Homo-oligomer: A and B are copies of this chain.
Amino acid sequence: MTDELASQRLTIREVSEGTGLTPHTLRYYERIGLMAPVERTDGGHRHYTAAAVEWVTLLRHLRETDMPIADMSRFAELVRQGPESVPERLQLLRRHHEAITGRIEALAAARDALDAKIVVYAAGEAETPPVPGSEGESTA
């Protein structure tokens, strides 16, 4: 009865496949302190607990939304400091939420601006040569 069902452990490859981060990246994150040292087998191989996988998933969400590694390190540090840092964690996450929303809006705005260009091309009005070169005057 040395816990079986309760604490399922995953290899680095399994975590990699489950999260989309490469084994190289998982080791890198651990190396730079984004993660606490992962549990090992007797032989020294990493065995990720469910909690570790959950943390990796959080990291992935932060990176996927372009949080800089430095900020993620700060967040990891706050978690290490314990429950009294919860307010600051909240602040950090809320700021990031705003950053993401702003980014989404910027993307949508730029996309809309580009759509105008698409419309012009699609309408066949390839007039108004933008700039590079001569729009088919010299070569070919």
A interface residues with partner B (beta carbon < 8 Å): 33-36, 49, 51-52, 54-55, 58, 61-62, 64-65, 76, 79-84, 86, 89-90, 93-94, 96-97, 100-101, 103-104, 106-108, 110-111, 113-115, 117-118, 121-122, 124, 126, 128-137, 139-140
Given contacts A126-B83, A135-B79, contact A90 B121 (CB under 8 A): yes
Given contacts A101-B111, A103-B107, A104-B104, contact A79 B121 (CB under 8 A): no
- Give every chain B residue within 8 A of A103 (Cβ-Cβ): 107
Query: Does A130 contact B86, Cβ atoms closer than 8 Å?
Result: no
- Give every chain B residue within 8 A of A101 (Cβ-Cβ): 111
Q: Report the copy number of this chain in the oligomer.
A: 2
Query: Does B76 contact A93, Cβ atoms closer than 8 Å?
Result: no
Taking CB as reference atom, which chain B residue is nearest A137? Answer: B82
Interface class of chain A by DSSP: helix
5 additional A-B residue pairs with CB within 8 Å, beyond A61-B113, A80-B139: A51-B130, A58-B114, A58-B117, A61-B114, A64-B107
Compute how far the CA of A100 lies from the CA of B106 in the bound complex, rounded to whole angstroms: 11
Query: Does A136 contact B83, Cβ atoms closer than 8 Å?
Result: yes
- Give every chain B residue within 8 A of A58 (Cβ-Cβ): 114, 117, 130
- The minimal Cβ–Cβ distance linking A82 to chain B, given in whole angstroms, is 2
- Give every chain B residue within 8 A of A100 (Cβ-Cβ): 107-108, 110-111, 114
